[in-house]
């Protein structure tokens, strides 16, 4: 296949970091326009975990808590060029790197990592209570979610966030039930996390899979299906949509003393460029696919804490200009 022309806008190295650090519209623009994929963990730090001793939970699961001196990481966002090799989520995704050590021009944030088959948690202290001049940013990220559950408890001033990753031992062998996975992690947090009700929740039924499936690759949600229908209706005849797969990003913003947490529902779109080609034998033309690419897009952003399920005033950009 002959590659189609790609383009890359010239951006300063800190362009996306500046959007993230700008509370006066920049951060809203960032999450409206770009799908964000946060790193699994912060370079330089691994959360220590211990086994969960519980006969009701079959399998090897662990738990861990981020200590106060490791709550903050420094992050940097970078968008993959359309002329570069694709990562799993495709072109135009903002990939967020995190480092536990301060780095020049990077942005400090509260960062909750992921660990396989584990329940990892952190508690964000009340603003102004960290000691010895420790950084106290008003941005939160956790690792990108592709099947994990995220739970929030506590108050908007002093929340505790859990990132739970991995599949349980499903009751029906060979079938993955997203509701079963969500229930498994919810019960695990209630039994082995801090005391208190869960006030916010994201599970795979919300952003990656809403039906029983024999494989984790069969991903679809109401949002991703609506987005696929919309994008097909908007595209012209030179683009053919091959596949739309959902995934997510959980982030938080503190305004004043209070936090709000959001789910950015993203999709990876596999699409083919279609061109007419004439054949010498009969001089007729037919459409052929000359290139296949993948690109990541935000479909919707919704608040999950403290007002769970509330949709943000958010309209995704038209796909024609972005593909």
Q: Does some domain include residue 110?
A: yes
pLDDT of residue 65: 97
**In the structure encoding, which two tokens stand for residue 135, read together?**
């950084």
Residue-number span of the structural domain to which 250 is assigned: 15-311
Q: Which residues pair with 98 in a beta bridge?
A: 75
Cross-strand bridge partners of residue 248: 145, 265
User: What is the C-alpha separation between 127 and 257, in angstroms, rounded?
Assistant: 6
Task: Let me know how long the chain is.
Answer: 323
Eight-class DSSP state of 194? -
For residue 146, tell me if it sits in a domain.
yes
Report the predicted TM-score, pTM, of the whole model to 2 decimal places: 0.87
| pLDDT for 255 | 94
Q: Is residue 322 part of a domain?
A: no
Q: Report pLDDT for 170.
A: 66
User: Given this model, what pLDDT does residue 73 score?
Assistant: 98
Q: Residue 310's beta-bridge partner residues? A: 303
- The predicted pLDDT at position 161 comes to 98
Question: Is 7 part of any domain?
Answer: no
3-class state of residue 247 by DSSP: strand
Q: What is the pLDDT along the chain (323 residues), one digit of tens a residue?
A: 333 334 456 677 899 999 999 988 888 889 988 999 999 999 999 999 999 876 666 678 899 999 999 999 999 999 876 556 556 777 788 999 999 999 999 999 999 999 999 999 999 999 999 999 999 999 999 999 988 999 999 999 999 999 998 877 766 666 677 788 888 889 889 989 999 999 999 988 888 777 676 666 667 777 888 777 777 776 666 778 888 888 999 999 999 999 999 999 998 888 887 777 666 566 566 677 777 788 888 888 889 999 875 445 445 554 444 44
Q: Under a CB-based contact definition with an 8 Å cutoff, are residues 24 and 253 in contact?
A: no
Note whether residue 185 is domain-resident.
yes
Tokens of 94: 């903002």
The answer to the question of residue 319 being in a domain is no
Identify the pLDDT of residue 314.
47
Q: Distance between CA 323 and CA 311 in Å, rounded? A: 25
Q: What share of the chain is helix, strand, coil (3-state, %, to 5)?
A: 15, 40, 45
Report yes or no on 316 lying in a domain: no
Q: How many domains does one find in the chain? A: 1
Q: Give, in order, the Cα–Cα distances in Å from 261 to each of 302, 306, 318.
A: 9, 7, 26
C-alpha to C-alpha distances, 58 to 53, 148, 173, 205, 260, nearest whole angstrom: 10, 18, 13, 22, 34
| Edge-first strand listing for the sheet containing 198-202 | 50-51, 62-65, 118-123, 159-165, 149-154, 198-202
Q: What is the CA radius of gyration of the chain?
A: 21
Are 267 and 253 within 8 A, CB to CB? no
CA distance 36 to 291: 25
């Amino acid at each position: 296949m002959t590659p189609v022309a790609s383009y890359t806008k010239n951006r300063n190295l800190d362009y996306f970091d500046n959007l993230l650090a700008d509370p006066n519209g920049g951060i809203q623009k960032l999450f409206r326009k770009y799908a964000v994929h946060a790193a699994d963990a912060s370079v330089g730090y691994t959360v220590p975990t211990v086994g969960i001793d519980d006969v009701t939970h079959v399998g090897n699961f662990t738990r861990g808590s981020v200590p106060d001196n490791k709550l903050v990481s420094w992050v940097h966002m970078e968008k993959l060029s359309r002329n570069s090799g694709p990562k799993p989520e495709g072109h135009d995704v903002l990939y967020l790197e995190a480092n536990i050590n301060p780095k020049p021009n990077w942005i400090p944030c509260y960062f909750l990592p992921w660990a396989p088959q584990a329940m990892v948690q952190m508690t964000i202290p009340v603003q102004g209570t960290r000691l010895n001049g420790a950084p106290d940013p008003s941005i939160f990220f956790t690792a990108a979610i592709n099947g994990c559950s995220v739970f929030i408890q506590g108050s908007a001033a002093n929340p505790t966030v859990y990132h739970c990753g991995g599949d349980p031992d499903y009751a029906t062998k060979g079938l993955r039930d997203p509701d079963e996975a969500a229930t498994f992690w919810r019960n695990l947090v209630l039994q082995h996390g801090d005391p208190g009700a869960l006030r916010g929740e994201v599970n795979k039924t919300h952003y990656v899979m809403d039906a029983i499936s024999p494989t984790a690759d069969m991903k679809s949600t109401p949002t991703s299906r609506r987005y696929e229908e919309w994008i097909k209706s908007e595209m012209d005849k030179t683009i053919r949509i091959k596949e739309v797969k959902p995934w997510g990003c959980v982030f938080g913003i503190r305004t004043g003393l209070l936090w709000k947490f959001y789910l950015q529902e993203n999709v990876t779109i596999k699409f083919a460029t279609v061109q007419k080609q004439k054949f010498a034998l009969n001089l007729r033309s037919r459409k052929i696919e000359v290139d296949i690419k993948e690109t990541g897009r935000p479909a919707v952003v919704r608040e999950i804490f403290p007002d769970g399920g509330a949709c943000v005033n958010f309209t995704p950009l038209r796909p024609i200009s972005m593909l």
